[in-house]
Amino acid sequence: MYYPEPTTIWESIQYSPLGIFIAESTWAFPTIETIHVIALVTVLGTIFVMDLRLLGVASKNYPITSMSRDTLKWTWGGFILAAITGTLLYISKTSSYMINPFFMGKMVLLAIAGLNMAYFHFVTWKTVANWDTSPVVPMGAKVAGITSLIFWITIVFFGRAIGFTLGIYDCYMVGQGDDGFIVSMLAGIACAGA
């Protein structure tokens, strides 16, 4: 198949041999996507278990450190696999993803969810010995739990929305009608040089 000369850094990624392979292969994209789904339900499932403990909704009598030990390695393992497979999916349609508000929104939400988790582990976690076995956890831990739940639920919705809106937004259509603030802003990144 013929591919035009890349005009943006995103097209250079997309028209790389790996990007072209994933896009053209009949099995690569669905296979990577399937692994992405298995990885993300592992992340979701283990995060829900930990968040519900932090919120005092479930496993109230199970120490928080034990719950963290049970779940965290699965959360991280799943997350790393989801990040690798997500990157491969991204490589195959980079320019379409870069101008998609749901994709960029998902990346922002992931970053905030990561910051929330980092704050919990590096700050709130310091005093865990005081509330490890208590069904009542400090406000900071509860906030971390509810924030994590809300963000991950939204991330799933955005992730699904990407698949339904990919191709609706396109650099060649920007500037020809009412694009809206977010799409115009994303076009500044996604279509630079195009």
Partner 1 sequence: MGDLLFNITDWMRGTVLLDWAFWMQETAFSLFMVENFWNVPIAQAIHILAIGAAFGSVLMVVLRVNGMAGAGLTFEQTAARFVPWVRWGLLVIVLSGLAMIMAEPVRNMINAVFWIKMIALIVMVLVSLSWIGSVRSAAQTAGAAYIGTGGAKATGWLIMALWCLIIVCGRWIAYVPV
Name the minimum Å distance from CB 144 to partner 1.
18
Distance CA 35, CA 37 (A): 5
173 binds partner 1 (CB under 8 A): no
Tokens 């900071």, located at residue? 140
Nearer to partner 1, 62 or 119 (CB): 62
User: What is the nearest approach in angstroms of partner 1 to the Cβ of residue 87?
Assistant: 18
The one among 48, 79, 97, 103 contacting partner 1 by CB under 8 A: 48
Task: Report the distance separating Cα 92 and Cα 14, nearest Å.
Answer: 5
Query: What is the C-alpha to C-alpha distance for residues 94 and 41, in angstroms, rounded to an integer?
Result: 24
| Tokens (6 digits) for 52 | 């519900």
**DSSP tag of 4:** P
6-35 positions binding partner 1, by CB under 8 A: 30, 33-34
User: Quick check: 156 and 89 in contact, CB under 8 A?
Assistant: no
Could you tell me the smallest distance in angstroms from the CB atom of residue 36 to partner 1?
9
Handedness of CA 25, 28, 31, 36 (dihedral sign): negative
Site for partner 1 in 113-172 (CB under 8 A): 153, 156-157, 159-161, 163-164
Residues that bind partner 1 (CB under 8 A): 30, 33-34, 37-38, 40-49, 58-59, 62, 66, 70-71, 74, 153, 156-157, 159-161, 163-164
